[in-house]
Structure 1
Amino acid sequence: MFSSLSSTLAAAASASGAKGDAKKSISPTLRADIYSAVDQAKPWLIGGTVGRQAGDGVAYQPIIARIHEHFPDLKVGLDAARNIEHEVAVIVAGITNMTLEMSKWEGMAGAMAMRTWVDALGDAHGKISNASTGAKGGSRKDQVGRGITRGINQLTDVTLMTREFAARIQIISLLKSVNTKIHGAGSDEARQGEALWSSKFI
């Protein structure tokens, strides 16, 4: 199931990258759309009493509609809808790619937006109940956490990132910190994320 999702996202990233290469300037709505998407995604990730949530097969649609303004080929396939981990991975990758696209044009502004996004991810995950849902994939908190990690580590298009050195260092450090925020310092996921994102300094 996830291999199909990964293929969809890889194709979307490739297509969006090709479009990005042809752009001569930043989209005038990109900055506002990033912050709006972050505001939409946080309660969607938390779920519970906040309202509709990741995994319900419906609530992701307003968020992905905003992402489509900049990455129109990104989709949540039929095999991913109503699956918490997969929906989260797609949305997290989409917003992260929007932020990286911003950094390509405005390095430090992109780094600031990434800090806002990473803080929102950590805060949202921390507010999710640990209660078991009885689902095969574990608690909702675990499924959201895996989706965040997968979206950041596996589905993000790093070719969109700024080449501006100072901003690039900040962004990579922030993306490395996601794994620690979600899974804890010293966890396998944190170590893997550290190794993965450290390699992106090159």
Structure 2
Amino acid sequence: MYKIKNLTKKYDGNVIIENLTLNIKKNKINSIIGRSGIGKTTLLNILSGLDKEYSGDISDFQGKKISFIFQDDRLIDYLSVFDNLKLVLDDEKNAYDIITTALEKCGLQEYSNYYPTKLSGGMRQRINILRAFIVKSEIMLLDEPFKSIDLKLKEDIKKFFVSLHNETGNTCILVEHDIDTVIDISDNINLMSDDKFKLKKHFDDLSDKKSIAQMIREDI
């Protein structure tokens, strides 16, 4: 279990997060859902180390290898798909085998030498997700990674993400405002309130997805 204890974040005198305490289960997809603009991305920035101006205890996350999947894919357009993936690898000796095997998993091996500008949005997002997984991080942070994907492709890419997670077993923290997404892929769900980003409800048993989705819709 990773623990966030009494986390507080202020910005320009305004309290964004106040005394947040949250448990994150290891090797699970832990979702954090709430309205846009209430502090979800701020929390990920703190956990990743991008934002160091806060009070509270996140020591369980410090020193861990963390990967981050942003809303936009952040691929470098002047590098090939292969070189975009190679950038995150420490193991240069085995980079070719690692990347080739990874691309085969998403059916994009023939696009290894393509530049991102030549790929569709769905392809770019698959590469974005793949890049985070080949880092072999202990913790993966996801900031609404399915947001900009066409609805017809979203289901396939969610399944792709879950299959990679099942294979690697890393700990995922997904922030979302889309109820269907968290219901589909989460192991547990934390529903956050608009009031200084506090935990409103926690759902650990997701067997009755229809009822949970309805409860979240009533509260969000």
TM range, smaller chain: 0.3 to 0.5
Ranked by relative contact order (alpha carbons within 8 Å, sequence separation 6 or more), the top structure is 2
User: Based on CA coordinates, which of the two structures has the bigger radius of gyration?
Assistant: 2
Structure having the larger proportion of residues in helix:
1
TM-score (norm 1): 0.35
Structure having the larger proportion of residues in strand:
2
TM-score (norm 2): 0.33
